[in-house]
Structure formats: structure tokens, C-alpha cells
Amino acid sequence: AEGPLAFFSGVVACWAALLIATHLAIRPHLFSFALAALFTSLLWSARREEAGLSWGKIAALILMQVLWANVHGGFVTGILLGLIFAASDLVRRGGRPARSTLLPVALAAAGLVNPYGWRLYELVARFGDPFFREAIVEWEPPFESRFMATPQFWLYIIWLAVAIVAAWRSLRSRREAAP
């Protein structure tokens, strides 16, 4: 990209960096972002393969689940992703069970490999209490009144508008370029 497009790209990149700056420090939730992406990538690649979910991928998912349970409470997302994959695989196979059928159970069991054992699940359930949802600012929705009063909220809104316009323009140019 050259000229105005390069400048615009630079401005957008700076805005993005400013918006995520508070999340760039080493924080446990970053592990959840990365592991959710890895889980999704592995499951998606298994979905495209004729043989389905291989034993190697199941082992990798289980090992990642053990790691996840020991670094962040978002590890339950791995179980949910496994459940969604197993359910879709079951539907795709016309109700015939496959290796993926037991994946959510294996992932839930892998989550027990932590210093707290089964009590980790109890702790995760406790965080659903409204007290925690109100006390932990990071869990608030972006349009909560406390966040709306900050300058970062308006940067977020501008960034969101820019992203929507960019996506729209990209889709439009692809449609025009299609034969």
C-alpha cells in the first residue's frame, strides 16, 4: 500500500494498538484467547479431514486443556468447543458415534489435572455470581455506563466504525471483482 492508503493503514494500526494496550501485559486471559484459537484451528482442520478427529489431535487437545485449566478459568471454553464439535460431528454422521463423541468428557476430565482437582469447577461456577460480574471491570460489557464515560470508549466506537467500513468496502470490492 502506498500514499493515502498506507497512511490510513498506519492510523488504523495505531488506533488498534491503543485500544488493546491495556491487554498487552502478561495476563492470564491471553492464554484463553490463544488456546481458544488453537482449539478452534485443530477442530476446524479435523472437520475438513475425511477421517475426522485423529487420536493425535485428541491427545493435543487434552494436553492443551490440562495447560489451560492451570492458567485461566476460561478453560471451560475448551470443553464447550469440544461439545460443539462433537454435536456437529454426530449430526454430520447421521447420529453414528465417532471418536469425537467422548471429546467433551475427555476435556472435562483433563480439566481436573490441577492443584485444586474438582474444586476448580466449583470456583468457576462461583464466578458466575453477580457480585463478581460487577466487581471485575474486565467482565463488564463495552456499553456499560462506567466504560462509556472514558476516552477509550470513544476510541473503541471509532475503531468499530472504521472496521465496519473497511469490511464493507472489502466485500464490495470482492463482489465487483468476481466474474
Cell of 62: 487434552
Tens digits of residue pLDDT in 104-118: 999 999 999 999 999
C-alpha to C-alpha distance for 179 and 171, rounded to whole angstroms: 14
Residue 37 burial by CB count (10 A; 0-12/13-18/19+): exposed, middle or buried? Answer: exposed
pLDDT at 25: 61
In terms of pLDDT, which residue wins out, 140 or 153? 153
Is it the case that residue 140 has pLDDT exceeding 80? no
- pLDDT at residue 1 greater than cutoff 70: no
Could you report the per-residue pLDDT of 43-87, keeping only the tens digit for each? 988 888 777 788 999 999 999 999 999 998 889 999 999 999 999
**Which amino acid belongs to residue 133?**
R
Q: What is the pLDDT of residues 29-43, one digit of tens each?
A: 778 888 999 999 999
C-alpha cell at 158: 471509532
Please name the amino acid found at residue 147: F
Q: How confident is the model at residue 141 (pLDDT cuts 50, 70, 90)?
A: low
Residue 7: Cβ-neighbour burial (10 angstroms; 0-12, 13-18, 19+): exposed
- pLDDT confidence tier of residue 119, bands split at 50, 70 and 90: very high
Q: Rounded distance, CA 28 to CA 74, Å? A: 9
Q: What is the pLDDT of residue 82?
A: 95
CA distances from 168 to 49, 157, 161, 172 (A): 32, 16, 11, 6
pLDDT for 110: 97
